[in-house]
Amino acid sequence: MKRLNVAVAGLGYVGMSLAVLLARKHSVIAFDIDPDRIAKVNAGQSTVADQEIDKALATEDLSLTGTLDPEAAFSGADFIIVAAPTNYDEQAHFFDTSAVEDVIRTARVHNKSALIVIKSTIPVGFTAQQRAVLMDDGIAFSPEFLREGKALYDNYYPSRIIVGAKGDSAAQFAEMLKDASLKPEVEILLTGSDEAEAIKLFANTYLATRVAFFNELDSFGLAQGLNVSELINGVCLDPRVGTGYNNPSFGYGGYCLPKDTKQLLANYKDVPHQLVQAVVDANSSRKKFIAEQIVKTGAKTLGVYRLTMKQGSDNMRSSAMYDVVKYLLAEGAHVIVYEPMLPDDNLKGAEIVESLDEFLHRSDQVICNRKDAVIQAFSGPIFTRDIFGVD
């Protein structure tokens, strides 16, 4: 495949991983409004916690530069990838797409011909709306199916590549992603933009449904005194069920699953639906149930170990542990927290302990969503629902 010029706007885990992936074979300019992120890229450092990205930056000959200048980023690009954040607005019950819209408009000022490919998660119908409003057919959507902390690995070995547009440019973009991957065969699917947007939301909602199902199974087992490991293994040995996403947790969290399920609910509008709402409600109930079980242990000082969503992640957005801690504090529990990545003391009522040794010494019971090497070596009481030691 010929060498292409690619602009990537937004350097979260989606944009950073795509920039590194494509910089192995193409010339990539990364754009962001955050000077610290651009400084990191130009210093050969990752903007997110991802071991594969760190390794690639250290060992591979990448054609990757960062800039704060939109003209420098977009003017010479063959493809412009938009990976700006779309946080869920709880008041509007919809994604906030303003950052994506700003990038699209800015990009078009400097480049009239490149295909703009949205990688940010967006509501169903957003791409078509942008095409109509801007009278621009050169806008496409391509869903990402990446795990935080393993985003580059998932780009190396994609389950499928989907582009919500049809035509030569869309096909070339899909081939570029396929060619940059390390997987011998990857299925490419070119769809309508609405269909691609819906695929992303339904895929993540299905994963959230599995998490909620096995968490409710675990709640039942915990309440009834059952061996949950045996119960899950017995259910999952049926090949129709399988073992994916079957390790109980305090609830699903992170950047994608909570907001995508809520956005899908908003898209349903007047279409009859029960299941998706039940999944959202089940996740809330699970976190409250976990907090109640912790309180029942009677431990005086509850030590919350890590607030991040999962092992290897630097993300605390919508972490299930946050809500569990809030429930515990509402019950009057004495809570201390060990989280070295916590930027500020924004857990009112909880004491942040910076020393791990002090934290472990003071905790009558350690609370952790996922066990790591530190917790595995801890000999004191631990409350976790991490049965299989996987995410």
Task: Give the residue with greater pLDDT, 317 vs 219.
Answer: 219
Q: What is the percent of the chain with per-residue pLDDT over 70, rounded to a whole number?
A: 97
Predicted local confidence at residue 89, as pLDDT? 82
Burial letters for 346-362: b for 16+ Cβ neighbours within 10 Å, e otherwise?
ebeebebbeeeeebbeb
The verdict on whether residue 37 carries a ligand-binding annotation is yes
Residues 49-73 have pLDDT tens digits of 999 999 999 999 999 999 999 999 9
The verdict on whether residue 86 carries a ligand-binding annotation is yes
Predicted local confidence at residue 312, as pLDDT? 59
The verdict on whether residue 160 carries a ligand-binding annotation is no
Mean pLDDT of 239-266: 91
Is 5-191's fold the same as 247-383's? Answer: yes
Predicted local confidence at residue 313, as pLDDT? 61
Predicted local confidence at residue 346, as pLDDT? 65
Residues 272-319 have pLDDT tens digits of 999 999 999 999 999 999 999 999 999 999 999 999 866 656 567 678
CA diameter of the chain: 65
Predicted local confidence at residue 300, as pLDDT? 96
136 pLDDT more than 80: yes
Residues 86-135 have pLDDT tens digits of 988 877 778 899 999 999 999 999 999 999 999 999 999 999 999 999 99
Which tokens in the block code for residue 111? 């480049």
**Active site includes 256?**
yes
Question: Which of 118, 256, 347, 360 is an active site residue?
Answer: 256
The verdict on whether residue 310 carries a ligand-binding annotation is yes
The verdict on whether residue 210 carries a ligand-binding annotation is no
Q: Which residues contact 55 (CB under 8 A, 6 or more apart)?
A: none
Q: Where are the domains of the chain?
A: 5-191, 247-383
The verdict on whether residue 145 carries a ligand-binding annotation is yes
Task: Give the residue with greater pLDDT, 157 vs 94.
Answer: 157
Right CATH for 247-383 from 2.140.10.10, 3.40.720.10, 3.40.50.720, 3.20.20.140 = 3.40.50.720
The verdict on whether residue 55 carries a ligand-binding annotation is no
Q: 5-191 maps to which CATH number?
A: 3.40.50.720
pTM above 0.75, yes or no: yes
